[in-house]
Amino acid sequence: MKFSLSIAMSPLDQLTGLARAAEEAGFSSIVLPDSLFYSEKVSADYPYTPDGSRFWDENTPWADPLVATASMGAVTERIRFYTSVLKLGSRNPVLLARQVNSVAALTGGRFGLGLGIGWSPEEFEWCGAPYARRGKRFDEAIEVLRLILGGDMVEFHGEFFDFDKLKMSPAPPSRVPFYIGGHTDVALRRAARVADGWSSAMMTLDQLRETIGKLKGLLAERGRAEDPFEFQAVCVDRFGLDGFREQAEAGVTDAITMPWVFEGHGFDADLGPKVDAIRKFGDEIIAKIEE
């Protein structure tokens, strides 16, 4: 099992310090969330809380995940970065490909692209993207991204995106893995079809076990049972050494965690206690998980 550090909602001036501490403690990756803006009102429920409410407010800090990756990548050498998940539905994939190319090159290929459609109609409409038919548009946007990130002279003529031959340089130094987020059957089928892994939001161990089982079945149906595939999970009810071993037994390959929460510190805690918690987690969990 690998471990990834979530830096969600941390003050932006802490990000480089958290990245250095995570690398030293043995974390494999930094996980970057995405939120474009906080609209005063939303016309849809947030899908990952029981009552549909958002658990952040208009003053919660959110860095653009690709800009944040470039910043943290500059002060680290080995640790990887991936978005969990970047909202593709409200973005133009040609412009996004330019950003991904850049951050992959600047980090020496230490970047993975976790993608979700997005849940807020306002984020779509206010960024000039239609909310209607968002699933079909999302699938086509993934095609565009993969095509451009391949590094060749390419063209695309689809229903939603259309361009003649172009090439973006430099190409990523290695293939950028794609991860798909979402808990619906449609999202799981999409992950099995086009992705290198699946990324969860907050789920219980029982929910993760059931969902991973579904995904393994879908992968087998597509002849991908033996393909490398990441199961990135935010588990809300199993912690500590035994708890993470239970996650691994359930099929989780990459546990996303925030160690300072276990020590009673919030998102906005000072950097020092967070670094202490990261080091403690490295000593007590990461170093012992495979013993």
Residue 255: inside a domain, yes or no? yes
CATH number at residue 162: 3.20.20.30
- In this structure, what are the phi and psi dihedrals at residue 44, rounded to the nearest 5 degrees? -145, 155
Give the pLDDT confidence score for residue 290 in this predicted structure: 72
Give the pLDDT band (50/70/90) at residue 48: confident
- In this structure, what are the phi and psi dihedrals at residue 52, rounded to the nearest 5 degrees? 80, 5
Question: Sign of the CA dihedral 89, 95, 100, 103?
Answer: negative
- In this structure, what are the phi and psi dihedrals at residue 105, rounded to the nearest 5 degrees? -70, -45
Is residue 114 over pLDDT 90?
A: yes
Residue 291: inside a domain, yes or no? no
Structure tokens at 217: 């079945």
DSSP tag of 156: E
- What's the N-to-C CA distance of the chain in angstroms? 12
Can you tell me the mean pLDDT for 58-82? 97
β-pair partners for 163: 156
Query: pLDDT tens for residues 216-233?
Result: 999 999 999 999 999 999
Q: What's the burial of 285, exposed, middle or buried (CB within 10 Å: 0-12/13-18/19+)?
A: buried
Give the pLDDT confidence score for residue 116 in this predicted structure: 97
Residue 251: inside a domain, yes or no? yes
Structure tokens at 28: 């494999």
Q: How far is Cα 41 from Cα 139, in angstroms, rounded to an integer?
A: 28
Is residue 50 over pLDDT 90?
A: no
β-pair partners for 115: 86, 180
Percent of the chain with pLDDT over 90: 97
Residue 105: inside a domain, yes or no? yes
Give the pLDDT confidence score for residue 98 in this predicted structure: 97
* Mean pLDDT for all residues in the chain: 96
Residue 93: inside a domain, yes or no? yes
Asked if residue 190 lies in contact with residue 180, where contact means CB atoms within 8 angstroms, the answer is yes
Residue 220: inside a domain, yes or no? yes
Can you tell me the mean pLDDT for 33-56? 93
Which element (helix H / strand E) includes 273? Answer: helix 271-281
Q: How far is Cα 254 from Cα 230, in angstroms, rounded to an integer?
A: 7
Can you tell me the mean pLDDT for 266-284? 97
For the entire predicted model, the pTM comes to 0.96
Query: CB atoms < 10 A from the CB of 237, how many?
Result: 13
Residue 237: inside a domain, yes or no? yes
Q: Of 78, 63, 65, which Cα lies nearest the Cα of 22?
A: 78
Query: pLDDT tens for residues 133-183?
Result: 999 999 999 999 999 999 999 999 999 999 999 999 999 999 999 999 999
Write out the residue range of the structural domain in which residue 275 sits.
2-286
Query: pLDDT tens for residues 80-90?
Result: 999 999 999 99
Total structural domains in the chain?
Answer: 1
Residue 170: inside a domain, yes or no? yes
Which amino acid, residue 220? A
Asked if residue 73 lies in contact with residue 23, where contact means CB atoms within 8 angstroms, the answer is no
Give the pLDDT confidence score for residue 127 in this predicted structure: 96
Query: pLDDT tens for residues 11-23?
Result: 999 999 999 999 9
User: Is beta strand 2-6 parallel, antiparallel or unpaired with respect to 254-257?
Assistant: parallel
Q: How far is Cα 106 from Cα 243, in angstroms, rounded to an integer?
A: 36
